[in-house]
């Protein structure tokens, strides 16, 4: 299963409007839990906030990957958002975050979750992919960019 298999148009948000990292995380977690009704929204928010308190998930280059493992979850789930204006985040390079990929995986099965986390990091480290995601017009276009980039990454491996 690829990382884009975790996303649908309902989990891609091309116009995130958040005043900071906590608000961005909360908005994505609420939408993710609304889509996946078996996900404990409060537990997810708590786990994501705890992870963010340990160390920022903003990697620089306008990318953040808030992530956490959650007890009771039987699979990895994800949501993806873009903020054209940028979200203030404690990023390594001090710049705003524009692309946010939220991940939650099972607490008792870290292998698949870590593989998805590494895949997201690899995709979003590609400048061309980031540029195309920023230029995409809609949820559908953003998913297309991610699927195409993921497919190229698989072929190269």
Find the domain containing 77 and state its range. Answer: 3-156
Of 36, 46, 67, 98, the active-site residue reads 67
- Distance CA(81)–CA(99), nearest Å, equals 6
Q: Which residues pair with 140 in a beta bridge?
A: none
Interstrand relation of 97-106 and 63-64 (parallel, antiparallel or unpaired): parallel
- Count the domains in the chain: 1
**Tens of pLDDT, residues 90-130:** 998 999 999 999 999 999 887 888 888 999 999 999 999 99
Least Cα distance to 145 among 157, 125, 155, 130 occurs for 130
Question: Domain containing 54 — which CATH number?
Answer: 3.40.930.10
Cα separation, 87 vs 79, in Å, equals 16
46 counts as catalytic: no
Tens digits of per-residue pLDDT, 27-81? 999 999 999 999 999 999 999 999 999 999 999 999 999 999 998 899 999 999 9
């Amino acid at each position: 299963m690829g990382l884009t298999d975790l996303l649908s148009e309902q989990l891609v948000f091309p116009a995130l409007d958040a005043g900071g990292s906590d608000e961005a995380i909360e908005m994505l977690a609420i939408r993710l839990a609304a889509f996946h009704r078996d996900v404990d929204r409060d537990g997810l928010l708590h786990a994501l906030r705890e992870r963010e308190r340990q160390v920022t998930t903003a990697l620089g280059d306008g990318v953040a990957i808030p992530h956490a493992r959650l007890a009771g979850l039987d699979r990895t789930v994800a949501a993806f958002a873009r903020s054209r204006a940028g979200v203030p985040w404690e990023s390594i390079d001090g710049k705003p975050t524009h692309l946010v990929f939220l991940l939650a995986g099972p607490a008792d099965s870290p292998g698949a979750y870590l593989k998805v986390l590494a895949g997201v990091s690899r995709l979003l480290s590609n400048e061309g992919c980031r540029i195309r995601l920023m230029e995409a017009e809609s949820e559908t276009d953003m998913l297309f960019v991610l699927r195409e980039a993921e497919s190229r990454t698989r072929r190269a491996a």
